[in-house]
């Protein structure tokens, strides 16, 4: 987990709901930073472009 959010502009996912909230930010070079919007102080994790695309594809199929 990464705790520094310097330079990251987190946005709430359109797939989030009040009980299941996810935020993401462009971390550069195709990488996405992802965190729990209800607990942003817990940090975020980074997903390289290929993994981020796979996650988005899986969510969109649901």
Helix or strand holding residue 51 (H, E): helix 49-61
Which pLDDT score, from 0 to 100, does residue 3 have? Answer: 63
Instruction: Name beta bridge partners: 17.
Output: 20
Tokens 């909230």, residue located:
21
Query: What are 47's strand-pairing partners?
Result: 32
Rounded to two decimals, what is the model's pTM? Answer: 0.78
Residue 33 class from Cβ within 10 Å (0-12 exposed, 13-18 middle, 19+ buried)? Answer: buried
- 1-57 confidence digits (pLDDT tens): 666 778 899 998 776 777 778 899 999 988 999 998 888 889 999 999 999 999 889
């Amino acid at each position: 987990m990464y705790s520094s959010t310097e330079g990251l502009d987190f946005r709430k996912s359109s797939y989030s709901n009040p009980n299941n909230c996810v935020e993401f930010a462009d971390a550069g070079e195709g990488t996405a930073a992802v965190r729990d919007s209800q607990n942003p102080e817990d940090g975020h994790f980074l997903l390289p472009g290929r993994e981020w695309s796979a996650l988005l594809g899986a969510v969109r199929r649901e």
